[in-house]
Structure 1
Amino acid sequence: MSYYKMSARDRIIVIGAGSTGSSVAYNLKRATHSEVVLIDKGGVASGMTSFSTAIVRTHYSNEVVAKMAFESRKFFEANRETLRFYKTGMVTVVPSALRKRMEDNVDMLRRLGIREEILEVKEASKMFPWLNFDADEGVSYEPDSGYADPVSTANFFARKAMDLGVKFLREEVHRIENTQGQAKIVLRNGKEISGASVILCTNIWTNKLLSQSGFAKGDLLPLKVSPHPVVIYKRPNGITGLRPVVNDLANRDYYKPEGESLLLGGNLRSELDEADVDPDKPPPQVPFNYIADYSQRISNRIPAMGNAGFHSAYYGMYDNTPDLHPIIDSLASLGLPNFYCCVGLSGHGFKLAPSLGEIVSHLVTGEEDPALEYFRLSRFKEGKSIFKGYEGIGTVG
């Protein structure tokens, strides 16, 4: 019998096979006896996951997300060889005006059991002599953070899911419908698949899919597709090897080692989050003047990078919500009662993927989870956006 004509009863369809969607499919199969189908037009990790800088950190400014990051980091560490997780540690630097905010934040993280400490600038300079600190800056260090491989992580979840019986389809979903109490997806080839539930893990393509499904602009989700440039450098002699990630909130940048000899530089400037572009038409290339300005900033923080070689640059794209935190909720308010979403990850998706999969499984199965109230869609209309401790610094959380 054709797969497309099989019974839809109890079938759960997950659209999007990045790190989040693959985690969702895996966790749903573990939590239910349902048939679970994972579908993606390009294959596993073919979307924004493959562009992720894949930092794994726990320095978040609100307790709910910090707990998620902590649990997710445990997952990365437990599977470090397969996920290629490198525990480099992470240094966070804030301007003097945010030192008290950082100290309070670290107190909260330590209460959760997260290892992080405040460092005096002299102490930080001794520990990390290749970094340049201003005398009045605040510095913290979390030794257990680092980075992983995004494609390996998504494939890990997808393989685990398929080992449990999840079916994977490499097809493009053209539109979604709610018909006679059942969720239905219509593929680009015209074939239809129905299910009891559909979960959108569609990242930057969410509103495009809703538009193709007949939703007017005013009925779309509060999401912007924001390009974020990443510059890759060849590190000079003297700062090669494993080095900590640097979360430079003072300059609103971050720097992440890649292997033994490269360094990736990203941007935390909130003005980038206001852009909104067509997800299928990213900017063609990172402008030279941006690379020049960024190179100056990074060499101020890491003086040896003044002798670094330019390797390449690219744009990753975030699906940003107004408060830069995810939407995990039913889409019943859009007239789609059998549809759910885990979107608007705002640059946090990869590092939170293990926890996001569990939370979505709780949403679909009806299990209580305090995070579901936190990430509800209605919070924006209610004027109850999620607190960010470092306002104006973009997707720090």
Structure 2
Amino acid sequence: MSTNRFAVIGTGTMGAQAAWQLARAGHNVTAFEQYAPGHPRGAAGGGNRLFRNIELEDAHYAPIVARAGELWANLETESGWRLRELGGALVAGPADAEETRNALAAAQDEPEAEILDVHEARLRFPSHAFDAEDAIVFDRLGGVIRPELTVKAAAGLAVRAGCELRTNTEVVEVEDLGDRVRVVSRVRGTGRAAEGAAGTAGAAAAETRTEYFDRVIVAGGPWTQHLVPQLADTLHSHQLMSAWFTGRTPQVMAGIHPIIRSNPTYLYALPTFDHMGMKLGLGFEHHPQVERPEAGPRQVIPEVMEAFQAKIRRYFPGLDPEPYRVDFYYESYTPSRHEWLGAAPGAQNVIVAAGFSGHGFKMSPAIGEIAAALAVGEQPAVDISFLARAQEAGA
């Protein structure tokens, strides 16, 4: 086993998974988290995320999604937590749209997927409305993920396997020196600053601390470009607004399934786990860019709320179009909408996992495994060469 020291910066959606994979393989891992795993300030918030096996964006993701499904089962078994509810999910959109065609092609290769026409979909899913030109896929193994609990579960397994987890610790600088990586961090406030495999509290650190690691994984979500400035033109932070609605009757809510619609009618809608409400999210045109999540505005813009309500009236006529909750989250995007997953430019010892552009959570266990493999110098179990091609094309 390697004696190298590894650092993981950010224990959110991807970082917690990478730390778990490195630690369970017996590596010496230190994970830095500026808040605590499962915090609500980044992307992994809102109580639920969509799990689906049907890809809209790029067929090259299919092996990653398949591997993620295997690792989700491992994560649930090892942690003891039920992290997903797999009661089926819908994928819909105009039949002639590229993303819908991608979904239909993926469904042909997925034995647990059904392709439905509009008439059949309306009969089976009466709480949903469909456009006359829609094609619909029902993914029987799709469903809903508990995002905050997933992050906490992965981080907890990393600690159990020997990872040193430093919460409330902000990394302020990462520098690849060629033979090692310098990491400068500082503790936020006072109190519990570190927790190791035995669960002991660490002593309060000095204001800043400089350490050296052999390899570093930066998975800082919307903060990544500030730690890896050479990616400042590639990674951009955006604010996403989610709104929650409930049915006019309980029967309407009982019939709501998770759904994602393809462009140009894009939306995603997820029932809460108690089926008392539904979370709705809109497309990229409603995700304003922000410099840093801490500075993002959190007021509801009337025009944006009108766009939410128009989607409710069109596709969920049994729901009350007045939301009972609105909240904001932050994600990292790239121009190509494909993530950066590999070494930072000019820094071969710094592996970056960022820019998932809102579609990475279902793949997160596999992404963590890939990032861990790259950090230890191994070939990932699935092909990711298409990501580099996508970045070059989108640059």
TM-score (norm 1): 0.84
1:56 has 2:69 as partner: no
Contact (CA 8 Å) 1:106, 1:117: kept in 2 or not?
Answer: no
Q: Please say if residues 242 and 257 of structure 1, whose CA atoms lie closer than 8 Å, have aligned partners that are also in contact.
A: no
Deviations 1:358-393 (A, max 9, x none): 1112212222235332233x753x4378xxxxxxxx
CA contact (8 A) 1:235 1:308 kept: no
The yes-or-no answer on 1:324 pairing with 2:334 is no
Residues 168-247 of structure 1 correspond to what in structure 2 (within 5 A)? 168-170=165-167, 171-179=169-177, 181-188=179-186, 189-211=207-229, 220-237=232-249, 238-241=251-254, 243-247=256-260
Give the % identical residues. Answer: 20
| Pairing partner for 1:337 from 348, 358, 376 | 348
Q: Does 1:383 align with 2:383?
A: no
Paired residue type of 2:360 = G
Shift of 1:101: 6.0
C-alpha distance in 2 between matches for 1:161 and 1:91:
33
Q: Indicate how the Cα distance of structure 1 residues 177 and 244 shifts in structure 2: closer, same or farther if over 3 A, else same.
A: same
Correspondence 1:297 to 2:311: yes
- 1:58 is aligned with what amino acid? N
**What is the CA–CA distance in structure 2 between the aligned matches of 1:200 and 1:101, rounded to whole Å?**
30
Closer, same or farther in 2 for the Cα pair 1:114/1:23, shift >3 Å? farther
Give 1:95 shift.
Answer: 1.6
- SS of aligned partner of 1:346: coil
- 1:285 Cα offset (Å): 1.6
Matches within 5 A, 1:245-260: 245-249=258-262, 251-259=265-273, 260=275
* Structure 2 counterpart SS, 1:256: strand
Q: Secondary structure at the match of 2:11?
A: coil
Counterpart contact for 2:127–2:255, Cα < 8 Å: no
User: 140-149 or 70-79, which moves further after superposition?
Assistant: 70-79
SS at match of 1:292: helix
The AA in structure 2 aligned to 1:89 is G
Q: How does 1:1-397 map to 2 (within 5 A)?
A: 10-31=4-25, 33-46=26-39, 47-51=41-45, 53-61=48-56, 62-76=58-72, 79=76, 82-98=81-97, 102-103=100-101, 105-111=103-109, 113=110, 115-170=112-167, 171-179=169-177, 181-188=179-186, 189-211=207-229, 220-237=232-249, 238-241=251-254, 243-249=256-262, 251-259=265-273, 260-268=275-283, 270-272=284-286, 275-305=289-319, 307=320, 309-331=322-344, 333-334=345-346, 336-369=347-380, 370-376=382-388, 380=391, 382-383=392-393
Q: Tell me the secondary structure at the aligned position of residue 253 of structure 2.
A: coil
CA distance in 1, matches of 2:105, 2:178: 52
Note closer, same or farther for the CA distance 1:207–1:13 as it changes in structure 2 (3 Å cut). Answer: same
Whether the 8 Å contact between 2:340 and 2:387 is mirrored in structure 1 is yes
The alpha-carbon deviation at position 291 of structure 1 amounts to 1.6
Q: Deviations over 1:212-266 (max 9, x none)?
A: xxx6xxx635011111211111233121237311212252111110122011010
Q: Secondary structure at the match of 2:293?
A: coil
Give structure 1 stretches of 5+ with no counterpart.
1-7, 386-397
Unaligned stretches of 5+ in structure 2? Answer: 187-206
SS at match of 2:228: helix
Structure 1 runs of 4+ aligned residues shifted over 4 Å read: none
Q: Which has the higher helix share?
A: 1
State the SS of the aligned residue for 1:135. coil
Cα RMSD of the aligned pairs, angstroms, is: 2.5
Amino acid at match of 1:220: A
Alpha-carbon displacement from aligned partner over 1:327-358 (angstroms, at most 9, x marks no partner)? 11112x33x23211111111123211111011
Q: Is the 8 A contact 1:88 1:243 kept in 2?
A: no
**1:199 is matched by which residue type in structure 2?**
I
What code does the residue aligned with 1:373 have? S
C-alpha separation in 2, matches of 1:232 and 1:38? 33
The two structures have a TM-score, normalised by structure 2, of: 0.84
What is the SS of the residue equivalent to 1:236?
A: coil
Q: CA-to-partner distance for each residue in 1:17-54, whole Å, 9 max, x for gaps?
A: 112101001111233x4310111010112242442541
Cα distance change on mapping 1:137 and 1:368 into 2, 3 Å: same
